[in-house]
Amino acid sequence: MLYLWLKALHIIAMVCWFAGLFYLPRLFVYHAMSNDATSHERFCIMERKLYRGIMLPSMIATLALGIWLLTLNPGYYFSQGWMHAKLTLVAALVIYHHLCGAQLKRFARGENSRSHVFYRWFNEAPVLALLGIVILVVVRPF
């Protein structure tokens, strides 16, 4: 029963984390298009609250619960190729998460040098990772 509770909480935390990973770069798109100080300040507040209040706790919960799940049967999970691929994608998402945090700080300092088009493409990375992770976990192709 513990396994099922951990799995459910892991999925819930992951959904919350992905909500932020999808939304923060979308805020960057609109922030990059804004020109006035009021909009800049509003976007900075929204981005900071999303990152610190939702994304960071959700990422930590996702990782902690995932590690806990792994410890329940490490021999099985670490012998599976799909799990190694999934963990690689998760590591890439953690890097992406921190890149978002670095970009958030650039916006706050008024140092953004990228256009809204860049952020529209940047926003697609977590979608690709999510597709890969779900397929790996459900289909377990190798």
Sequence ranges of the binding site for heme: 10, 86
d(CA 64, CA 79) in angstroms, rounded, equals: 20
Decide: 132 and 85 in contact? Cβ < 8 Å: yes
d(CA 142, CA 17) in angstroms, rounded, equals: 26
Decide: 122 and 89 in contact? Cβ < 8 Å: no
Q: Which residues are annotated as a binding site?
A: 10, 86
d(CA 107, CA 118) in angstroms, rounded, equals: 14
